[in-house]
Amino acid sequence: MVHSLRQAQDRALIAAQNVTWLLERDLAGWFDKIDLTLAAVQEEAERQLAVGGIDPSRLDPFIVRQRDRQPTLEDLGVASADGSVTMGTGIGSAPLNISQRPYFIRLRDVPNAGLVISAPFQRYRNGEKIIALARRVNRPNGDFAGVVVGLIALDQFERHFAFVNLGSEGQVVMRSLDHVTVARFPQSEPRGDAAGEDWMTAETDSVEGSYVTASPAGRARTVAYRKVGQYPFTITVGLLSEDAMAQWRLYAGGIAALLVLCILISGLSAWQIARFWRARDAATKKLELSNLALQKSEEYLSLALESAGLGVWELDRATGRLIADAQARRLHALPAEGPLDPDLVLAAIHPDDRANFHYSFERTLQVGGPFEFQYRSVHAGDTCRWLSLRGRSQSAPETSTGWRIIGVIQDITERKVAEAEIHNLAFYDALTGLPNRRLLFDRLKVALASRARSGRGGALLFVDLDNFKMLNDTCGHEIGDSLLKQVAQRLAGCVREADTVARLGGDEFLIVLEDLSKTPAEAAEQTKVVGERILASLNQPYRFLAHVQRNTPSIGATLFNDSRYSIDDLIAQADLAMYQAKKAGRNTIRFFENIVAGQG
């Protein structure tokens, strides 16, 4: 009975630990990607400092592109040595200075601080609760030049936690290492408060652990917590123990019934003994049914682990012996039978991931504790699969040095592909691969903010294909789609890398030109040159499998040399100018400013 109780408790603990591990992996992945983004902006800023100084017209678009690749980032920017944030997203018109923020002071005073993550704080602009991740930017001589900082809204974490099935009284809490709540689902206390005397108080400063406590309703709750990778947070999951304990209660009830019957035997007559045996048979049958149900439950658990595609492996450091089951061998394209050489595993890892994998693995063997790493494995035909390796170093009794690692491996390629597809679907047109309306509006917002800071001009071009509907109806949608793809390629070839070409929908395209002259007349001339280049390019024949087609565009243009107009105003102005180009006979360009001035 004690053994079956332990099994039921173990199942409750495994469920809480699995949910904790999955959430911890997701959050560590978020922070890893954001740190890489900060490092990319830091490297670009330091490169510009090394060749004469930071050029906002080049660094600002670079920051915007990096932010667009990380949907979890609320904003991304660069602050100068005095704390003024002058480049990046979400700056707004009011001056912003972060020199008094603790993370800025630490990066300024500690040259080798690396990545610094702030405590939760309230944003100046809208009162939103956020955390900041920041890296120091150095001058070529090592002096402090500023910081690159990314912001994450705390409700990002809570929206992610909401997808987890926690049961009736389950809860997920993300806290800093000093026990300040960062995010909690469901909400039961304000974010940013220190830990109180609740179900979290049994946590320690260890990397991971578990314990059993009581829920507010007095029901047993199994709690597992885990540190989020190398970052200063813990993720804690509490689940009711009741379901996992149901089988044990049934088993314990059967045993208790037998004990009661045994006590009554001594006082019963012969006919009572006969009744006892009949009762014992019934209890035995009930116990057998209980054991059968328990066995079925264990089979379901085994099937679930197998369905998850988990492979098991073990490495003995003393002998160099590597043991792996069939699934682990298949994931690494290793021989199905026979001894394994750890060097074969290392050789199968993608060259770009090999050094980091080797470093993380060796460090785990030295310091012990958990080991987790995501990397690409190269298979036949140079195909790559994304794998997640998870393990734990165990120490021998006679030494403190890790001597073996036991763990699991899982193929996460589909998850990686899905993440990339979700990003593309959210920000890019499925047919042409160009930025969609959502990304276009973000780029326009950044362009207007950049113009307000630098004073340099910009322009918006509205390109509409002439008679496209007739071509689509007569030649078919397949030809129409192919023409739209070729138009997208030609438009991208007519502008600079820092400019934006987007598909608004149908046969309509919008082009954002930045970093034009501060003088409106010169900016208009620069825009005209680009428009004529587009006209010449789109007038060239379009070649398809069976025949050749021609098509022309009508282009409307408007300048944004001041801040009087909103994004919707600018699009409406460019649209009006485009219709004037169609009235003028198509295949030409017209400026909104000329229409207002009565010049046609």
What DSSP string runs through 74-127?
SEEEEEETTSBEEEESS--SS--B-TTSHHHHHHHH-TT--SEEPPPEE-TTT-
First to last CA, the chain: 93
How far is Cα 398 from Cα 47, in angstroms, rounded to an integer?
A: 51
CB 473 within 8 A of CB 558: no
C-alpha pair distances (Å), 118 with each of 127, 149, 233, 429: 16, 10, 11, 36
Q: Of 8, 84, 70, 1, which Cα lies nearest the Cα of 41?
A: 70
> What is the bridge-based pairing of β-strands 553-559 and 589-591?
parallel
* CB-based contacts of 493, cutoff 8 Å, min separation 6: 537
The residues that are catalytic are 507
Q: Tokens standing for 471? A: 């071509």
CB 227 within 8 A of CB 207: yes
3-state SS, residue 487: helix
How far is Cα 448 from Cα 560, in angstroms, rounded to an integer?
A: 8
One-letter amino acid identity for 535? L
CB 121 within 8 A of CB 154: no
Q: Tokens standing for 48? A: 């510009």
Sign of the torsion formed by the C-alpha atoms of 387, 392, 398 and 400: positive
How far is Cα 311 from Cα 327, in angstroms, rounded to an integer?
A: 5
Residue 14, φ and ψ in degrees, nearest 5: -60, -40
Please give the DSSP secondary-structure letter assigned to residue 381. G
One-letter amino acid identity for 206? S
CB 233 within 8 A of CB 225: no
Q: What does R_g of the chain's alpha carbons equal in angstroms?
A: 32
Q: Tokens standing for 210? A: 């578990």
C-alpha pair distances (Å), 82 with each of 86, 96, 105, 117, 401: 11, 11, 10, 20, 47
How far is Cα 85 from Cα 78, in angstroms, rounded to an integer?
A: 6
How far is Cα 256 from Cα 248, in angstroms, rounded to an integer?
A: 12
Strands of the sheet containing 369-378, edge to edge, are 321-324, 310-316, 402-411, 384-395, 369-378
Peptide bond preceding 186: is omega within 30 degrees of 0, i.e. cis?
Answer: yes
C-alpha pair distances (Å), 168 with each of 143, 184, 246, 352, 428: 55, 15, 16, 45, 39
Q: Tokens standing for 410? A: 């899982």
How far is Cα 544 from Cα 480, in angstroms, rounded to an integer?
A: 10
